[in-house]
């Protein structure tokens, strides 16, 4: 029997992975509180659109992300589908812990289903200067993930 907690986590994983594939919603983007964030992401070279979970932003050389307002701040997150969650759990967690020791604003976590999530939260609403600094820190933290890609590869789907 699957616990309600596991079902909720599974639903969150599925929703996060699905949001990357949702169609563009141009009407929501027209009059959205996300407009300044979208403009900023577009300036940084992302192609962004509004989806149910927030802003989906894709880039040719950076991590694809979802940005949303959460708990009085701005949340940025990305996800990677994983392989079997039972595969070498201590090593898997050691890799995530190593990432977290090197990051400034982001945190990497493994779900019970074996997926890798990385997220960062900035308190407050959008402010151009603060958001620019936040995105710079996110990019540095994303580089940490790239640096350990060979350590992550055994646990992630191709």
pLDDT digits (tens, 9 = 90+) for 108-157: 999 888 899 999 999 999 999 999 999 999 999 999 999 998 888 888 88
Closest CA to 125 of 44, 59, 35: 35
Q: Where are the domains of the chain?
A: 4-155
Q: Please tell me what DSSP assigns to residue 59.
A: -
Show Cβ contacts of residue 149 under 8 Å, excluding neighbours closer than 6 positions.
Answer: none
Write the pLDDT tens digit of every residue in 19-50: 554 444 444 433 456 789 999 999 999 999 88
Write the pLDDT tens digit of every residue in 131-144: 999 999 999 999 99
Rg (CA), the chain: 16
The CATH number of 4-155 is 3.30.1460.10
């Amino acid at each position: 029997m699957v616990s309600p907690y596991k079902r909720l986590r599974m639903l969150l994983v599925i929703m996060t992975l699905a949001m990357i594939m949702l169609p563009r919603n141009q009407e929501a983007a027209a009059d959205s509180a996300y407009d300044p964030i979208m403009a900023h992401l577009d300036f940084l070279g992302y192609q962004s659109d509004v989806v149910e979970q927030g802003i989906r932003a894709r880039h040719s050389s950076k991590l694809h992300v979802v940005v949303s307002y959460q708990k009085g701040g701005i949340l940025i997150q990305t996800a990677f589908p994983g392989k079997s969650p039972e595969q070498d759990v201590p090593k898997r967690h050691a890799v995530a812990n190593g990432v977290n020791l090197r990051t400034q604003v982001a945190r990497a976590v493994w779900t019970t289903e074996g997926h890798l999530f990385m997220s960062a939260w900035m308190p407050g609403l959008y402010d151009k200067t603060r958001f620019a600094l936040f995105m710079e820190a996110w990019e540095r933290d994303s580089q940490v993930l790239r640096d350990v890609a060979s350590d992550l590869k055994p646990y992630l789907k191709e």
